[in-house]
Structure 1
Amino acid sequence: MPDHTPDDENIPRYTRGFEWFTHLVRTDMRGRPWRKLGLFSYYDAPYVESERLYLSPKQAMLAMAADVKSQGRNVVMVVDAMEKAEMGLSTKQGFDQFMELYDGIFPDAAKFYFGSRDSDRTWLHDYPSLKIPLQWVIQHPVVFAEVLSDASPVGEIVGPADASFEDFAGMTEVLVEKLGPPSLSEEVLGKIRSTEASEYAGEAVGLLTVFISPATAVTRSVRYLGKFVSLLKNRRKQEVKEVYEEWAQRVRDGYSEENLRKYFDDDPSFESELTKAVEEVRPVLLVLETRGTLYDLFMPLITQQLVEVVGYVRPEDRPKEAVVSSSRKRSSSSDSGWDSEELAYEEIDTPDGESEESIAGAVAPDVELSTDVEMSSQEFEGKPETVLFLDAATHLSKFNRSFKFSLKIPERHPNMSVAASFFTQREKISQALRDAVVEYMSDRALVFDLHPDLFDAVTANIPISTKAWLMGQLQEMERIHAAGGVAFLEYYAPQKNKWTLRSVDKPDPKVIREIRGWFRKKTD
């Protein structure tokens, strides 16, 4: 690594990593427009963490966001505050250093917190809570049905009629019914029987805790229920009843009106502060403290409302509004049959005349719009050109429909672009994550590392000679990383030679002074 100089000697390695990466963005990587940008790593950790240098996905995205701002586009940045790294936002030191950089770039930004404010990370709680208008959710049962379908512990496809409610009490009822312990219907048992036994491997230990834990129960799929049922066969009915009752109570308590009011406002005249800020073309920072909690599933509602307000849709692409009858009643969940000798088996109703497949199409339409758009030549009826930065997007992949919606935003809305950071260390790569990685490596991508299965997926259709060259570049990346530096492969589709190896090196002292002067101007 280069020798120390007075310009670089007395600054934190966090700032140093950001400045060095910013120099690369403003020089060698400048002038590469994109609609979809993916930042990829293997571990859910910083790209480099040495005595000299610290560079994380958040810092890299912040540097890219500064470049977007210089192009005259607005920025909405959503950051996960639950990362466990030494200087992640879950530490006071990491949060302060990130905010110092962020405030230097976006001094007039609107900043919000999304969480329950019940952790000991009090430094996250200084910003106003972002709340979702309850009236908006009530008026969008299709969107809420999509969220519930993603979170269903048995993979139920929830229809809009079953997701309808009128107030907090009704919302609690819907959440408890759809995310609490399921009745063991013939449909559910059919799904269990069709699930491969190999998917149950390693899930026996602590499985009951998974199902009664409010932090994880609502995001488990039907394969876990299958193992759960197999364990229940060897237990007395009373034990089964106690497990189900505890699960139901924890979900009911978690989604009580008191807790829901931390995330929603039921005043009919209430407007989201986030959407108001974006309409005013103000940068927005949203700090999330919901990962691994019952409230993680509410985040997609924020994205959906934001896009509805800000996203421009060409007149020829605007769909006819689907009308959902308010007279449809939700199918009620029946008693689990604890007073009988066996568990009750009930059919899960679907709206009259509709199959599960047709409901799925209504909940998550697969709309494909052209992405070949020159943004500067478009008029968007007054809607601002906006770039959404999603930190740690891998965590959202468990919400399949909502995850796909967020990543498809640029295809539906020509005034919006999306940048997303992904870590890929997974025992099993879900289809949703695989599709996202392939899609977000099709326009512009920065690859710091990658799961080997995903590397094979994204290089499946390139010549073996090119793949061998890429392997050599990856080896050089590892050599640089072992020496305490950081390098990555940049992919840029419009370029003839689409892959370029980039090394994050120390700029000249004059350049460092220019970068710091550039940020000082932002705060003057």
Structure 2
Amino acid sequence: MTESEIDESIPRYKRGYEWFSYLAHEKLQDRPWRRMGLFSFYDAPYVESDLLYLSPKQVMLTMASLTKKKESGLVFVVDSLEKAEMGLSTRHGFSQFMELFDKAFPDAEKFYFGPKDSDRNWLHEYQTFRIPLAWLITRPNIFAEVLSDASPVGEDIGPADASFENFEGMHEVLVEKLGPPSLTEEVMGKIRSTEASEYAGEAVGLMTVFVSPTTAVSRGVKYLGKFMGLLKDRRKQEVKEVYQEWEERVQKGYSIENLKKFFDEDPDYKSGIQEAVEAFKPVLLITETRGTLYDLFLPLILQHLVEEVGYVPPHLRRKRAPKSEEEREEAEWDTDSLRYEGLESDEIENIRVERGQTGQEPEFKADLDISEDEFEGKPETILFIDAATHLSKFNRSFQFALNIPEKYRNMSVAASFYTNRDNISDALTEGVVEYMSERALVFDLHPDLFDLTTSNVPITRKAWLMGRLQEMEKMKDEGGSAFLEYYEPDEHKWKLHILKKPEKGVLGEIMGWLRRKS
């Protein structure tokens, strides 16, 4: 394509979105799904050239526009701290994304979750979303799972140790479980038996944040390996200095003042998200927690959100504690207080008696309008999760995310993954396998995960896939883009799609159709 054929007045960010939207409208419709994955190798845009810029968020926005029905819910959770040139962490990138989002969903409700302590003030103008403290107090098992995943020494924390009753208690639990560990023989034994390289991957939990975020991220294995060496050698003064910094960071970061930025103790608090979903208004939730002490609140957001908008069949619901003897007595019916009210004349007219065959009792029938409500008033809702790879380091909580469509029957989930990890965790592997089992858009993938997910594909078909991947790489080198689509119900499950310039006059019609549809 020559440069003269390209409208230079259109920013490449918008051009990438429009080209993908055109392709999606033409090629990706009418494929229903409950679970969909978007995959790449790098935590970066799918396409970044002089011609096009296309990121996971833009692709997810198009797919959300394509799949949302007028009487359905949509919750779009985006990570604002991606480091790409036009990521939401830059004012320009955020403005471009919001321009597209507002055109796609002009009536959307927007929320922010984060500490509001950065200089990215363009993120902070939206209504703050908080988690009800009472919700977490009554779910110590969920808090225990998150704390276990974040534990610097891999402690398996039980619900009893994660229980609290107020902000003061929550602060104490966080400091105790996430502060510097006592160097008991048990802890030292774990450290001695652990290779330093493990601490560069997901095994470290949030340790890089607790110790020294800047240093740990920039030096990676070398820094953490050195720290482990200090502990093994018991070099007391240096360990003491690190521990002091660690203690101060946790005490200050999880202060009651800071916790109140993320949790609300008002028993009547309502975030507004449930109300928006039930009114069929799209919801955008912008998170600003990646790489901070508040990372471990991300799984809590997800679980709380899903509990608010998701429908759980009766047989899968949480069992309530048995009632006390006093409560059971209060629940007994007082038959003397029962009153029977007569029917009005117009109600009597709606009841008719039909006499059956000879010898049978009369049948009483009422012309009552009883309609089935499949999800007890909760609308079908699509949840889009940006940068789900980041969530996968919380192994136990990530299992919850994988099983949302099975447990919450009114919900479908789409998630984007990047896969360039030195150590592919079991959780991430399971996530990729699950989210590629039904519907997937693959822009790139870690070779080990590609081999795993295509292990049952005939060798001739796998050779075809390898050929298509080579085509994709060639197009990417030339500034274009293509991706593989997987759709399990199709006879030929894999297809190659190439981004091309839309035909003149067609694009405006498609963008208008997408807006009207949602």
Under TM normalisation by the shorter chain, which class is it?
0.7 to 0.9
| 1:281-430 mapped onto 2 (5 Å cutoff) | 281-321=280-320, 379-430=374-425
C-alpha distance in 2 between matches for 1:69 and 1:216: 43
- Report the residue type matching 1:60 in the other structure: V
TM superposition shift of 1:307: 1.5
Alignment map for 1:12-23 (pairs within 5 Å): 12-23=11-22
Q: Which residues of 2 match residues 109-120 of structure 1 at below 5 A? A: 109-120=108-119
C-alpha RMSD of the superposition: 2.9
- Aligned counterparts of 1:62 and 1:168: Cα–Cα separation in 2: 37
Structure 2's unaligned 5+ residue stretches are 217-222, 323-371
Could you report, residue by residue, the CA deviation over 1:343-373 in whole angstroms, capped at 9, with x for unpaired residues?
Answer: xxxxxxxxxxxxxxxxxxxxxxxxxxxxxxx
Residue 494, structure 1, aligned to residue 483, structure 2: no
Q: Quote how far apart the aligned CAs of 1:378 are.
A: 7.8
Q: Decide whether the 8 Å contact of 2:105 with 2:515 is kept in 1.
A: no
Alignment of 1:172-321 (within 5 A): 172-195=171-194, 199=198, 212-213=211-212, 228-321=227-320
Q: Secondary structure at the match of 1:509?
A: coil
Give secondary structure in 1 for the equivalent of 2:27: coil
User: Which amino acid in 2 is paired with 1:410?
Assistant: P
In the alignment, is residue 74 of structure 1 matched against residue 73 of structure 2? yes
Q: TM-score by structure 2 length?
A: 0.83
Does structure 1 retain, via aligned residues, the 8 Å contact 2:196–2:228? no
Aligned residues: 462
Q: Taking structure 1 as reference, are residues 452 and 322 closer, same or farther at Cα in structure 2, changes over 3 Å only?
A: farther
Distance 1:519 1:438, change over 3 A: closer
Q: Which moved more, 1:289-298 or 1:153-162?
A: 153-162
2:26 corresponds to which residue? 27
- Residue 137, structure 1, aligned to residue 136, structure 2: yes
User: Which amino acid counterpart does residue 258 of structure 2 have in structure 1?
Assistant: N
The alignment's TM-score, normalised by the length of structure 1, stands at 0.82
Per the alignment, residue 327 of structure 2 pairs with none
Q: Which amino acid aligns with 2:379?
A: P
- Determine the C-alpha separation between the residues in 1 that align with 2:201 and 2:488: 41
Tell me how far 1:72 sits from its aligned partner.
4.3
Amino acid of the residue matched to residue 135 of structure 1?
Answer: A
SS in 2 for 1:126: coil
Structure 1 residue 296: deviation in Å? Answer: 1.0
1:49 Cα offset (Å)? 1.2
1:484, CA displacement in angstroms?
Answer: 1.1
Instruction: Provide Cα deviations, 1:326-351, integer angstroms capped at 9, x if missing partner.
Output: xxxxxxxxxxxxxxxxxxxxxxxxxx
Contact map agreement 2:69 2:517 (CA 8 A) in 1: no
What residue is the counterpart of 1:510 in the other structure?
505
2:236 alignment partner AA: K
Q: Distance in 2 between matches of 1:5 and 1:256?
A: 57
- Distance in 2, Cα, partners of 1:176 & 1:314: 37
CA distance in 2, matches of 1:208, 1:394: 18
Q: Deviations over 1:8-66 (max 9, x none)?
A: 45221111111111111112111101111100011111111111211110000000000
Deviations 1:462-481 (A, max 9, x none): 22222111100101111211
CA distance in 1, matches of 2:201, 2:72: 48
Q: 1:198 to 1:181 in 2, by over 3 A?
A: closer
Shift of 1:500: 0.2
Q: Is 1:39 equivalent to 2:34 in the alignment?
A: no
Give the distance between the partners of 2:165 and 2:145, measured in 1 at CA: 18
Decide which structure has the larger Cα Rg and report it: 2
What is the CA distance between 1:76 and its match in structure 2? 0.4
Determine the structure 2 residue equivalent to 1:349.
Answer: none
- Tell me the distance in 2 between the aligned counterparts of 1:76 and 1:202: 30
Q: Identity across aligned pairs (percent)?
A: 67
Shifted more, 509-518 versus 74-83: the winner is 509-518
CA distance in 1, matches of 2:289, 2:200: 29
Shift of 1:517: 3.4
Which stretches in structure 1 are left out of the alignment for 5+ residues?
Answer: 218-223, 324-376
CA contact (8 A) 2:380 2:411 kept: yes
Instruction: Supply the distance in 1 between the matched residues of 2:229 and 2:84 (Cα, whole angstroms).
Output: 38
Alpha-carbon contact 2:148-2:155 (below 8 Å) kept: yes
Q: Residue 360 of structure 2 corresponds to which residue in structure 1?
A: none
Q: In 1, distance between residues paired with 2:9 and 2:197?
A: 55
Write the letter of the residue equivalent to 1:154: V
Correspondence for 2:53: 54
Aligned to 2:145: 146
Pair 1:445 & 2:444 matched: no
Which region of structure 1 is more displaced relative to structure 2, 226-235 or 414-423?
226-235
Q: 1:280-316: per-residue Cα shift (whole Å, max 9, x none)?
A: 3321101111100000111111111112122112223
CA distance in 2, matches of 1:225, 1:2: 50
Instruction: Give, in whole Å, the separation in 1 of the partners of 2:312 and 2:300.
Output: 19
Taking the aligned partners of 2:198 and 2:418, their CA distance within structure 1 comes to 23
